[in-house]
Amino acid sequence: MTGSQRVILLACGSFNPPTNMHLRMFEIAKDFLHRTTNYNVVAGLMSPVHDKYGKEGLASAGDRIQMLRLALNSSSWVHVSEWETTQDDWTPTREAVQYHQELVDSVVNGNLDPTAKRQRLDASQSWLNHLTTSTDPVVVKLLCGADLLESFAKPGLWKEEDIEALVGKYGIVVITREGSNPYKFIYESDLLTKHQKNIHIVTEWITNEVSSTKVRRALRRGESVKYLVQDSVIDYIYKNALFNTHNNFALSASHKTTLLSATTDCAIEDVAT
Ligand X SMILES: Nc1ncnc2c1ncn2[C@@H]1O[C@H](COP(=O)(O)OP(=O)(O)OP(=O)(O)O)[C@@H](O)[C@H]1O
Q: Which residues bind ligand NMN (CB under 6 A)?
A: 12-14, 49, 53, 55, 92-94, 148, 157-158, 162
Q: Which does 93 bind (CB under 5 to 8 A by kind): ligand X, ligand NMN, none?
A: ligand NMN
Shortest distance, position 143 Cβ to ligand NMN, whole Å = 11
CB of 158 to ligand NMN, least distance (A): 4
For the beta sheet containing 5-13, the strands, ordered from the edge strand earlier in sequence to the opposite edge, are 78-80, 39-48, 5-13, 138-145, 172-175, 199-202
210 near ligand X, judged by CB under 6 A: yes
Which of these, 237, 233, 259, lies nearest to 249 by C-alpha position? 237
The percent helix, strand, coil of the chain (3-state, each to 5) is: 55, 15, 30
Binds 213: which of ligand X, ligand NMN, none (CB < 5-8 Å by kind): ligand X
Provide the minimum distance between the beta carbon of 91 and ligand NMN in the complex, in angstroms, as a whole number: 7
Cβ atoms of 223 and 209 closer than 8 Å: no
| 177 part of the interface to ligand X, by CB under 6 A | yes
User: Would you count residue 208 as binding ligand X (CB under 6 A)?
Assistant: yes
**Of positions 105, 147, 162, 223, contacts ligand X by CB under 6 A:** 147
> CA 273, CA 270: separation in Å to the nearest integer?
5
DSSP assignment of 6-72, as one string?
EEEEEEEE--SS--HHHHHHHHHHHHHHHHHSSEEEEEEEEEEPPGGG--TTPPPHHHHHHHHHHHG
Closest separation in Å from C-beta 70 to ligand X: 16
Q: DSSP letter string over 149-185? A: HHGGGSTTTS-HHHHHIIIIII-EEEE--TT--HHHH
Q: How far, in Å, CA of 258 to CA of 235, rounded?
A: 9
Between CA 209 and CA 138 the distance in angstroms is: 32
Residue whose Cβ sits closest to ligand X = 145
Q: How far is the CB of 173 from ligand NMN (least distance, A)?
A: 15
The minimum distance between CB 196 and ligand NMN, in angstroms, equals 21
145 belongs to the binding site for ligand X (CB under 6 A)? yes
Residue 134 binding: pick among ligand X, ligand NMN, none (C-beta 5-8 Å cut-off by kind): none
Q: Segment 8-37, which members bind ligand X (CB under 6 A)?
A: 11, 13-16, 19, 21-22, 25
Using CB under 6 A as the criterion, which residues of the chain lie in contact with ligand X when the complex forms?
11, 13-16, 19, 21-22, 25, 144-145, 147-148, 175, 177, 208-213
